[in-house]
Amino acid sequence: MGQLRIVVLLIPNIQQARWLTAYAGARAGIACPTSASRTYNQGNRMSPSCQSKARLHDLRSRLLGWYDQHRRPLPWRQNCDPYRVWVSEIMLQQTRVAAVRLRYEAFLKQFPCLRALAGASEASVLAAWSGLGYYRRARNLHAAAKLVLHQRQGKFPQGSDEWRELPGIGRYTAAAIASIAFQEPIAVVDGNVERVLARLLADSVRGEKLWQVAQEFLDPKRPGDFNQGLMELGATICLPIEPRCPECPLRRFCHSRGTRQRTKRSLPRSRREIAYSLVRKGNAILLLQRAKTESLMPGMWELPEVSVEEMGAPPLFTLAHAITVTDFKVRVVESTPARAGTWIRVGRLTGLPLTGLTKKILRRAQIID
Q: Which of 252, 179, 172 is nearest to 219 (CA)?
A: 179
Could you tell me the smallest distance in angstroms from the CB atom of residue 5 to ligand SF4?
Answer: 25
Q: Active site includes 273?
A: no
State the Cα–Cα distance between residues 245 and 258, nearest whole angstrom.
Answer: 6
Could you tell me the smallest distance in angstroms from the CB atom of residue 252 to ligand SF4?
Answer: 8
Could you tell me the smallest distance in angstroms from the CB atom of residue 249 to ligand SF4?
Answer: 8
Which residues lie across from 326 on neighbouring strands?
A: 270, 323
CA distances from 303 to 28, 56, 349 (A): 61, 56, 12
In this complex, which beta carbon is closest to ligand SF4, that of residue 154 or of residue 191?
A: 191
Query: Which are the contacts of 239, defined by CB distance < 8 A and separation ≥ 6?
Result: none
State the Cα–Cα distance between residues 226 and 243, nearest whole angstrom.
Answer: 20
Contact assessment for residue 24 and residue 10, using Cβ atoms and an 8 Å cutoff:
no
Q: Which of 263, 236, 262 is nearest to 250 (CA)?
A: 236
Could you tell me the smallest distance in angstroms from the CB atom of residue 246 to ligand SF4?
Answer: 8
Contact assessment for residue 294 and residue 335, using Cβ atoms and an 8 Å cutoff:
no
In this complex, which beta carbon is closest to ligand SF4, that of residue 175 or of residue 250?
A: 250
89, 184, 232, 302: the catalytic one is: 89
In this complex, which beta carbon is closest to ligand SF4, that of residue 248 or of residue 357?
A: 248
**H-assigned helices in the chain:** 2-9, 14-27, 35-40, 48-70, 82-92, 97-110, 114-118, 122-129, 136-151, 160-163, 171-182, 191-201, 207-217, 223-236, 356-364
3-state secondary structure of 133: coil
**Positions that interact with ligand SF4 (CB under 6 A):** 196, 199-200, 237-238, 243-245, 248, 250-251, 254, 256-258
Could you tell me the smallest distance in angstroms from the CB atom of residue 199 to ligand SF4?
Answer: 4
In this complex, which beta carbon is closest to ligand SF4, that of residue 254 or of residue 287?
A: 254
In this complex, which beta carbon is closest to ligand SF4, that of residue 35 or of residue 261?
A: 261
Contact assessment for residue 203 and residue 10, using Cβ atoms and an 8 Å cutoff:
yes
In this complex, which beta carbon is closest to ligand SF4, that of residue 108 or of residue 233?
A: 233
**What is the torsional sign of CA 75, 76, 77, 80?**
positive
Could you list the active site residues? 89
